[in-house]
Amino acid sequence: MSKHIISLLILIITITSCHQEKQKSTLEIIDLEQAFNKEHNSFFNIHELATEVEYIQLETHDSCLIGNNMQVYVSGNNILTITRRQIFLFDRRTGNFIREIATYGEGPDNYTRAISMFPLDEQNETVTVFANNKRRTYSLNGNILRETIQPEGIFEASEIAPGIFAGFIPNFSGDEKNKIALFNEKGERTGGFINQNQTPPMENSVNIWMPNGWFYKNQSKHYFYELFTDTIYQISPSELEPHVVLFQGKYLPPYEKKE
């Protein structure tokens, strides 16, 4: 009987190894090192990236002058410009100013910080910002529709399934167990994914926080990428799976210096 069990275990291990090898071989690899090695004076034409170019001049007057570090989001009918203290809505075709979505400040209806992960929901026509530790969602008319709580220690997050959020943990202390925390609308942690690149903080150093972990959405699928690593992951409530390898070779900075 023991011989049969051993044979079965060997067969299972062999099948698992073959499956893992197949996964590795089918994972797309984008060679960024080769691209970086190209001559700096190489050019490409715009038609290689787009079939047409549309120019829209946004309306400019005292009530809608856009500040620095602007992010622009475009939907079917609207153009949204976001700075730290401004959220302006413009007409997609004419560029005419429509309204300021929400007002920056500490009041009950104000917001305190814009978010960089999907502030505009094109399908539902909503905008999400921070009001202290709450994620607040406005309609494009400026009405508050929803509030959820984000746990401490998480700076950016994305709703990867209805009512389920994934948040990146910067790990300033160097001893955080998880790289990504899962939490619900009440801000309660419900799970997470292990930090495989755990490093202790550098001695005699200062941490300067910058967004170094991003969530992306494409065709209803969610993805995650962290600076100083080489893999884009597809993320779901149950799995963090390698999706694409960004091979950077000698241009990949050491992970322990990412802060």
pLDDT values of the chain reduced to their tens digit, one per residue, 259 residues: 455 544 544 444 554 555 444 455 588 999 988 888 876 556 778 888 889 888 999 999 888 888 888 889 998 899 999 988 889 999 999 999 999 998 898 888 888 988 877 888 888 889 999 888 889 999 999 899 999 999 988 878 889 999 999 999 877 666 778 889 999 999 999 999 986 665 655 666 666 656 678 898 888 899 999 888 899 999 999 999 999 999 999 999 888 776 6
First to last CA, the chain: 56
DSSP string covering 27-84: SEEEEHHHHHHS-TT----GGGT-S-----PPP-SGGG---SS-EEEE-SSEEEEEET
Place of tokens 């079917």: 76
So what's the pLDDT on residue 254? 84
Collect all residues with Cβ–Cβ distance below 8 Å to 251 and sequence separation of at least 6. Answer: 32, 33, 36
What is residue 12's predicted lDDT score, i.e. its pLDDT?
47
What is the C-alpha separation between 8 and 17, in angstroms, rounded? 14
This prediction's pTM: 0.75
Please report which helix (H) or strand (E) contains residue 157, including its range. strand 156-161
Asked whether the beta carbons of 131 and 109 are under 8 A apart, the reply is no
Q: What is the CA radius of gyration of the chain?
A: 23
- Report which residue type is found at 124: N
Which residue from 166, 163, 196 is spatially nearest to 181, judged by alpha carbons? 166
Predicted pLDDT at 169: 85
Going edge to edge, which strands form the sheet with 221-226?
28-31, 239-247, 231-236, 221-226, 213-218
pLDDT of residue 200: 59
Contact of 205 with 195, CB cutoff 8 Å: no
Strands 239-247 and 28-31: what pairing?
parallel
| Count of other CB atoms within 10 angstroms of residue 50 | 8
* Bridge-based pairing state of the strands 164-168 and 78-83: unpaired
Q: Beta 156-161 vs 134-139: how paired, if at all?
A: unpaired
> How wide is the angle at C-alpha 134 spanned by C-alphas 232 and 78, nearest 5°?
70
Counting every residue written for the chain, the total comes to: 259
Rounded CA separation 216/196 (Å): 20
